[in-house]
Chain A
Amino acid sequence: MLDFFAIFSKGGIVLWCFQGAGVSESFTGPVNALIRSVILQERTGNNSFNHNALNLKYKLDNEFELVFVVGFQKILTLTYVDKFIDDVQLHFRDRYKNELEQRGALKFLLNNFEFGEDFHNLLREAEDRSKAKGPVPMKNFKESQKSQKTVKSMIETKDGDKSKEQGGKKSKNAKKEGVSGGDQTKAASQTVSKKTVENGSDGLTAEEIIERNRAKFISKQLGGGKPDKTTSKSPKPQKPKGKANRVWDMGGRNTGELDYSGSNGNNYSDAQTQDHDASAEPLIQVDSMKGDLRGVDYESSDDDDEDEDEEVEEERVVVPDTNKKGAKKGGFGGMFGMLKGLVGSKNLTQDDMEPVLDKMRDHLIAKNVAAEISSQLCESVAKKLEGKVMGTFTTVASTVKQALQDSLVQILQPKRRVDILRDVLDARAQRKPFVITFCGVNGVGKSTNLAKISYWLIENGFSVLIAACDTFRAGAVEQLRTHQRRLNALHPPEKHAGRPAVQLFEKGYGKDAAGIAMEAIAFARNQGFEVVLIDTAGRMQDNAPLMTALAKLIAVNTPDLVLFVGEALVGNEAVDQLVKFNQALADHSKTDKPRLIDGIVLTKFDTIDDKVGAAISMTYITGQPIVFVGTGQTYSDLRSLNARAVVSALMKA
């Protein structure tokens, strides 16, 4: 009934495989999908995976670097599969222990792993076992666990009721002393039901119950109440007497400073002063953003980063050498054998890793990684390391930390090519505009980062059209218009073949955003703009009508890139936002291959110090890369993500 079973090494060589009768297609496709989506995305905590009509279960053997995968039809619910995989794994290891303990990758190729007979035997056993257990009959009350419990454990009380509880107990015991064994009716109203239940419990007569309760009661009185009971109530805070006058900083001193009407008001007509301001801006350096974006870095210069990489490399080269040395030494004579035994190679078990993983989980949460993501990550690392043989001179903590660091870097590495400039060049060659849409919740920095990205694109010689599809927020269109003016002032049209570098396409407020976007794209195609940046209104992920509107905009206009803008300050909310945004986009699209979020823009990165966990949460949930990182509020504060720097900041104590 199994479709296939495969045993292969982590290096990729299939050691043995079995294909069920009547199964024509090879299992390579589903297994590759399993590897990509589960193992390589660090979701190994959950050990089953669905691919089309197949359900795949797998098990990693970290000591010998093997993977065991079984696949069966999703509609069959086979209960014996989990235990079956474990049995097969143990059996395979025992049988081929010698071959597997050789060193090097050639062991997988040179040896012939014939496993067919054993496999069929194990399969037959497992099937028989599952058939033997018939349907389970329902338990009656006496066998249930509830009858075993005392009434006390089932009472849910808040702290304040403890005193009442004590009092109630006292009265109940007093009553019980006066009452003979089987008399159930004389009881306080509160205790009637409890008594009947208690007397119904198995094997204990009423007297024994009384004794037990009395003992409990006495121990409770003697053992002392909880410490917070003794301090009855916190002392009332001293209320300040009377009312103090509120003191304002600029209190009525100089109202002239507060008058902004002269210099900056009425922007519409002050185009010239605007341009002067912009060109006199000392902080903006034109031509500083050509080419690819610099990475976000934590060290002061890239040289430090390179040195660190070299050191890390040296460490890595050194450790395998010490492994070799340790093994060699173990061969010479008894004294060195004792040494090897002291530091020796042992397998990692779940218990060994438990305390370290707990600490790591708390550390990650302290660094602003979402709580469920931290626990999933730690589970995945535990699965990857279980049974692995530690090298000499390495502690459990260092192995776990290294594994966690590797998996974090792996998560942050983009799974596809992230090169916006290259794609825009392609679109230019095809004479159609490259459309980027920005979506996100309120206040994360969509408009600001849109302006930064258009500055970067202009620096690299592309012409940009900004589509103001935020028709809701007051001042959204004006904000974009101001950005357009400043950008044009910084890049005068003379340098861009006589046409303005950036133009704004807007239709005022209150209109349908999807319609404006479609018109903007048509306009760009006619006028030969190379990039269209669509700014949408911020919306909460729970707001169903707004999410529908966004999904419609994306489904109708099919942009080349859908970027989700998220701020780095967000904590557990990131998970919810991304899941709901993706859900809405998938639900409301009419095609069977819906356009989901393609990339993430991480904003306000300069406000978090080293609590960079939001990057991990977002990439883990969507599997999409972080395309831009916003590190400030001026035009040049745009970077690309440097995975190593972020992970080192994350793992720093």
Chain B
Amino acid sequence: MDEKIHQDLEDFSAEQLLESFIKEIQKEEVVFLIGICVALALVILTVVFFGNFWSSSKARNAVLLLGLCDSGKTLLFTRLLLGKFARTQTSITESSATYKSKNDRGSSWTLIDVPGHESLRVSILEKYKAVARAVVFVVDSSVFQKDVRDVAEFLYSILTDGTVAKNSPALVVACNKQDISMAKSAKLIQQQLEKELNTLRLTRSAALSSQDGSVGGSVYLGKRGKDFEFSQLPGRVEFIECSARGSKAEDGDIAGIDALEKSLARL
């Protein structure tokens, strides 16, 4: 009998506990309850997004398409992603999409097309330079002789940027528009850029030798005392030729970007 009483008591107390708990909750004001729920939600939210932020800052998985205006970045972006042709205009904002590379591992990263216009490129580059794993610098090979100084200056500003120099992402210089007959070869472009960057080194960073590097915090490219060569850079540098438009007419599907794709696959 005592056991039975005990059992009854236990049942009774468990149920009663639950009931009394529910009653307690119901007794509290609704506002208080909502407050607690909102607080809980916020805590969960912060924990989750901090976790995401922390993990994403570790992975640098973006490939940036940089270059002067009208060098063919947006078309290259379309070709790499979908292989088809699209008419393009000057970009005003950046576009980003996931790219599956054609290697055995099937890794994928974010391909970001940065507008080439002078007033936009700096601020957008600031946003993405920390997560850049590789930089594809697109050069218009047909008008390269005329624009060599502008190309070199842009390349110089990218390479001497503090964050970029620290991370040293792989640099692929894509000499685009090879389908035009006047296009220069990759070798020639490499030589000209090396000469130009050599001169820029002198004019831009001569101040470094007199004041101990406190001017702008910029980096000295390559080795002092020797002429600048791309092989002196810490990251991997490749010069390849490609043609985003392809040898056929506008709507042609064949484009000469195989070399570029192979190079990207090796990242």
Contact = CB atoms under 8 A, between A and B. Distances in A.
B38 A414 contact: no
Given A12-B89, A12-B92, A306-B162, 10 more contacts: A8-B88, A13-B88, A32-B70, A40-B120, A306-B217, A317-B56, A317-B57, A409-B122, A413-B123, A417-B149
Interface string A423-435: 0010000000000
A303 B215 CA distance: 11
Contact of B207 (A17, A291, A339): A291
Given A11-B74, A35-B92, A292 B41 contact: no
B164 to A, nearest CB: 13
Contact of A313 (B89, B126, B205, B216): B126
Contact of B130 (A303, A313, A416): A313
B119 to A, nearest CB: 4
Interface in A212-237: none
A414 B206 CA distance: 22
Interface in A75-119: 104-106, 108-110
B206 A422 contact: no
Contacts of A12: 74, 88-92, 95, 113, 115
A32 B89 contact: yes
A291 B149 contact: no
Interface string B53-94: 100110000000000001000100110011010111111111
Contacts of B52: 321, 324-325
Contacts of B203: 291-292, 419, 421-422, 425, 460
A105 B126 CA distance: 20
Interface string B32-58: 000001100100010011001100110
28 contacts: A8-B88, A11-B91, A11-B113, A12-B95, A13-B95, A14-B87, A32-B70, A35-B89, A35-B90, A104-B98, A105-B95, A290-B210, A292-B216, A302-B217, A317-B56, A318-B53, A321-B52, A321-B53, A325-B45, A325-B52, A336-B41, A339-B38, A406-B123, A415-B118, A417-B149, A419-B153, A419-B200, A425-B203
A291 B113 CA distance: 33
B258 interface: no
Contacts, number: 168
A417 B89 contact: no
Nearest to A325: B49
A104 B206 contact: no
A65 B92 CA distance: 10
Contact of A290 (B86, B118, B119, B207): B207
Contact of B216 (A10, A302, A409): A302
A145 interface: no
B119 A411 contact: yes
Contacts of B263: none
A10 B95 CA distance: 9
A422 B122 CA distance: 21
Contacts of B81: 106, 109
Contacts of A36: 90, 117
Nearest to A26: B87
Interface in B114-144: 115, 117-120, 122-123, 126-127, 130
A292 B207 contact: yes
B15 interface: no
A542 interface: no
A287 interface: yes
Task: Give the size category of B's interface with A.
Answer: 35 or more
A410 interface: yes
Contact of A413 (B90, B118, B199): B118
A415 B95 CA distance: 22
Given A105-B95, A329-B45, A17 B78 contact: no
Contact of B123 (A28, A109, A409, A422): A409
A309 B209 CA distance: 26
A543 interface: no
A39 B84 contact: no
A13 B92 CA distance: 11
B82 A110 contact: yes
B208 A291 contact: yes
Nearest to A291: B207
A653 interface: no
Nearest to A289: B207
Contact of B215 (A41, A294, A419): A294
Interface string B89-115: 111111111100000000000000101
Contact of B118 (A13, A106, A339, A414): A414
Contacts of A294: 207, 215-216
Contacts of A104: 96-98
B214 interface: yes
A316 interface: yes
A325 B207 CA distance: 47
A439 to B, nearest CB: 25
A398 interface: no
Nearest to A339: B41
A67 to B, nearest CB: 8
Contact of A417 (B41, B78, B92, B150): B150
